[in-house]
Amino acid sequence: MIRAIAIDDEPIALDIIESHANKIPFLELKASFTNAYQALEFLKTNSVDLLFLDVKMPDISGMDFLKSLSKAPLVIFTTAYQEYALESYDFQTVDYLLKPFDFGRFLKAVNKASDRLEQKNDQHLFLKTGYEYVRLEIAQIKYAKAEGNYVKFVAENEQVLSRMTMQQAEDVLLPQGFLKTHRSFLVNRAFINKIEKHQLSIGKEVIPISSIYYQLLVEAIS
């Protein structure tokens, strides 16, 4: 069962989310809030797996709301503003629903959240390399790097090149605490030695940091 709450300053938008949620047997919408600060109070004493979160709200934006949480759950953004989509994926964003959205689109997003939560409980990956599958422990992966149609996983004692997209790698690694530093890099925060303005160090290796990710990266490890 996925435990969720919804936050939107528009009551009509919350009514739609509640109606869609009631049709999904593995989703429990525990509460809905038009006031984001009331939602913050709720989260202090209640654990949830998923947020349905509006981006633009009167007192606090959805992005700032997530930044205020010490440990944010997965999030599905529900908004009328497409221009925030890129920034939203710096968080544990499962999907970005543009209003108005129908039940089918809502269900697809919730199914993606369910898959993410199942992956979060996995402690290893099986990566396809040629005709073989290689097992790699997630805790041993230092970083992942996009290389054309492949992603290279650099672990403590080995490197594995697997044919997949960077988005597929993000879907697996971001829920495990990895951080995005660049459109082509995901890093394991446990291996970071030093962060500078445009790069970070993992041992003797240097990983680039794009300007759009620097502040989010610093906040994530603070």
Beta strands in the chain (DSSP E): 2-7, 27-33, 50-53, 74-79, 93-98, 124-129, 132-137, 141-147, 150-155, 159-163, 178-182, 185-188, 194-195, 199-202, 205-208
Measured CA angle at 117 (ends 211, 30), to 5 deg: 100
User: Along the 222 residues of the chain, how does pLDDT read in single tens digits?
Assistant: 899 999 999 999 999 999 999 999 999 999 999 999 999 999 989 989 999 999 888 888 888 898 888 777 889 999 887 765 555 555 668 888 999 999 999 999 999 898 878 766 667 888 988 888 888 989 899 999 999 999 999 998 899 999 999 988 988 888 788 999 999 999 998 899 989 989 999 988 999 999 888 888 877 776
- How far apart are alpha carbons 165 and 162 in whole angstroms? 9
Name the H helices within 89-148. Answer: 103-120
* pLDDT at res. 68: 87
Sheet holding 199-202, edge to edge: 194-195, 199-202, 205-208
Domains, the chain, in order of start with CATH, read 2-120 (3.40.50.2300), 124-221 (2.40.50.1020)
State how far the alpha carbon of 180 is from the alpha carbons of 98, 99, 169, in Å.
24, 27, 11
Quote the pTM value.
Answer: 0.58
Written as six digits, the tokens of 131 are: 């005709």
Q: How far apart are CA 222 and CA 220, in angstroms?
A: 6
Q: Give the span between the Cα atoms of 15 and 6, in whole angstroms.
A: 10
